[in-house]
Amino acid sequence: EPEVTQTPSHQVTQMGQEVILRCVPISNHLYFYWYRQILGQKVEFLVSFYNNEISEKSEIFDDQFSVERPDGSNFTLKIRSTKLEDSAMYFCAISRDSYNSPLHFGNGTRLTVT
Amino acid sequence: AQRVTQPEKLLSVFKGAPVELKCNYSYSGSPELFWYVQYSRQRLQLLLRHISRESIKGFTADLNKGETSFHLKKPFAQEEDSAMYYCALFTGTASKLTFGTGTRLQVTL
């Protein structure tokens, strides 16, 4: 299974601060995703990214969120001004293509907003 | 809109007993379904997908389009099967997975 490394494993931040979550896929995959899981709830899709642009996003992914792959390697999720309700596990995932190809997940970053 | 339902939050079975984790889906197109497993403090891992029709770690799942179900089964539970299990629906055109709420499987001696 391809490796997906996420950093940091745990991030604590104050409400209103900006956070950047990072994902480094080891092998060469085309599609990148962010999912999140609020404690006790299901894993929810946030955004998919292909060819340096967003291919789809959910209603959760509002103007406070952005993604980019600045150096062709790291895939980042930025939350501009964090809110308490942003506290969750954030999972990066990759796949070879968008159809008929399973997603491989990272270990996740636990974000705690205080 | 697509939806995945896992009715049980917790399923507790004895070692050696059969296991069935339920999953029902709602999707107007041709579904592609997966089971993901998350062991304690580890990442979500793909367990199996319906198009492969394979058995992984003794688990199988059959897609039943008539009942819109994709239940996960294993004839004899092992202690190491204890984990969270998530059923997920992949819609190719939307390039995303829709997850169920997950079922925690607890295998006891």
Buried b (16+ CB within 10 A) or exposed e, B49-77: bbeeeeebeebebebeeeeebbbbebeeb
Of A1, A42, A108, the CB nearest to B45: A1
- Residue B94 confidence (pLDDT) above 60: no
Q: Calculate the alpha carbon distances from A46 to A57, A59, A95, B59 in Å.
A: 6, 8, 15, 29
Contacts across the A-B interface (CB distance below 8 Å): 54
Per-residue confidence at B54, pLDDT binned at 50, 70, 90? confident
- Reduce the secondary structure of chain B to three states and give it as a string: CCEEECCCCEEEEECCCCEEECCEEECCCCCEEEEEEECCCCCCEEEEECCCCCCECCEEECCECCCCECCEEECCCCHHHCEEEEEEEEEHHHCEEEECCCEEEEEEC
Q: Which chain A residues in 76-95 lie under 8 Å from chain B, judged by CB atoms?
A: 91
SS3 category, A13: strand
- pLDDT given at position A73: 79
Cβ neighbours of B92 in A, within 8 Å: 98-100
Which of residues A110 and A101 earns the better pLDDT score?
A110
Residues in Cβ contact with B79 at an 8 Å cutoff, skipping those fewer than 6 apart = B15, B107, B109
- pLDDT given at position A44: 92
- Classify strands B19-21 and B45-49 as parallel, antiparallel or unpaired: unpaired
List pLDDT tens digits, range A9-39. 999 999 999 999 999 876 677 789 999 999 8
- pLDDT given at position A41: 87
Whether residue B99 and residue A42 make contact (CB cut-off 8 A), yes or no, is yes
